[in-house]
Chains A and B, each alone.
Chain A
Amino acid sequence: DGGITQSPKYLFRKEGQNVTLSCEQNLNHDAMYWYRQDPGQGLRLIYYSQIVNDFQKGDIAEGYSVSREKKESFPLTVTSAQKNPTAFYLCASSPKEGPGPRSNQPQHFGDGTRLSIL
């Protein structure tokens, strides 16, 4: 079955350490997204990408970085500059955005990675 795979499910970060969260999709979707979820705050967009080798900052990009070298993969790095990284991170994908009937397909989500500080 097609879907989105996030790994690991749980991750721990030490002070001053960068960590990378994996997101892989086999839905042949062009667009991919990273969200951060904190209790009572809903989902906040970190980064998104509509096409390979291109990505844009979302609402809370500071302290994070991404790459999009392959259509299927959109890894997120939580850098040491992110002072409050403890959260649940969700990756999503959707068909290519833009005019046309497929442009309103909703986003599909992975099962998330829970990141904690050691």
Chain B
Amino acid sequence: AQSVTQLDSQVPVFEEAPVELRCNYSSSVSVYLFWYVQYPNQGLQLLLKYLSGSTLVKGINGFEAEFNKSQTSFHLRKPSVHISDTAEYFCAVRTSGAGSYQLTFGKGTKLSVIP
């Protein structure tokens, strides 16, 4: 079975500073990986996804993530954050292969951007 670990539950960062939100996964087969963002009292929106190909994935709102198979990581980065990036971020893994359909989510990282 797959699992996802988000190493930081909360990350405070000053506006215009860079940020990295860490995500590690475990799976016995190849995986598809996702980052979602959740604003207060809302559902989840997809930021980006890795299915195959280039290990550097670019998403919306200036975010990007790098898939590292040897380190089983999929860290999310942004070079310069804005106040509007304050939200909770979830990393998720979906096991590839016929019949697999679930997303397993990490416990989330709350990003707080300080003016």
Please list the residues of chain A having a beta carbon within 8 angstroms of any beta carbon in chain B.
4, 6, 31, 40-43, 45, 48, 50, 58, 90, 92, 94, 97-99, 104, 106-112, 114
Write the chain A residue with the least CB distance to B44. Answer: A109
Cβ contact within 8 Å between A98 and B107: no
Cβ contact within 8 Å between A99 and B32: no
Cβ contact within 8 Å between A104 and B32: yes
Q: How large is the interface on B (under 10, 10 to 19, 20 to 34, 35 or more residues)?
A: 20 to 34
Would you give the shortest CB distance from B30 to chain A, in whole angstroms? 12
Cβ contact within 8 Å between B49 and A97: no
Provide the bound-state CA to CA distance between A58 and B1, in Å.
Answer: 14
Q: Is the interface of B mostly helix, strand, loop or mixed?
A: loop
Would you give the shortest CB distance from B75 to chain A, in whole angstroms? 17
Cβ contact within 8 Å between A104 and B99: no
Please list the residues of chain B having a beta carbon within 8 angstroms of any beta carbon in chain A.
9, 32, 34, 36, 41-46, 49, 51, 90, 94, 96, 98-103, 105-108
Q: Given A97-B100, A104-B51, A109-B45, are A42 and B32 neighbors across the interface (CB < 8 Å)?
A: no
B34, B101, B107: the one contacting A42 at CB < 8 Å is: B107
Write the chain A residue with the least CB distance to B102. Answer: A45
Cβ contact within 8 Å between B107 and A107: no
User: Could you give 18 example pairs across A and B, Cβ below 8 Å?
Assistant: A4-B43, A6-B43, A40-B107, A42-B106, A43-B44, A48-B102, A58-B102, A92-B43, A97-B100, A97-B101, A98-B99, A104-B51, A106-B34, A107-B103, A108-B46, A109-B36, A111-B42, A114-B41
Provide the bound-state CA to CA distance between A76 and B54, in Å.
Answer: 39
Cβ contact within 8 Å between B99 and A97: yes
Provide the bound-state CA to CA distance between A97 and B107, in Å.
Answer: 24
14 other A-B residue contacts (CB within 8 Å) besides A48-B102, A106-B49, A111-B41: A4-B43, A31-B101, A42-B107, A43-B44, A50-B101, A58-B102, A92-B43, A97-B100, A104-B32, A104-B49, A107-B103, A108-B46, A110-B43, A111-B42
Q: Given A97-B100, A97-B101, are A90 and B94 neighbors across the interface (CB < 8 Å)?
A: no
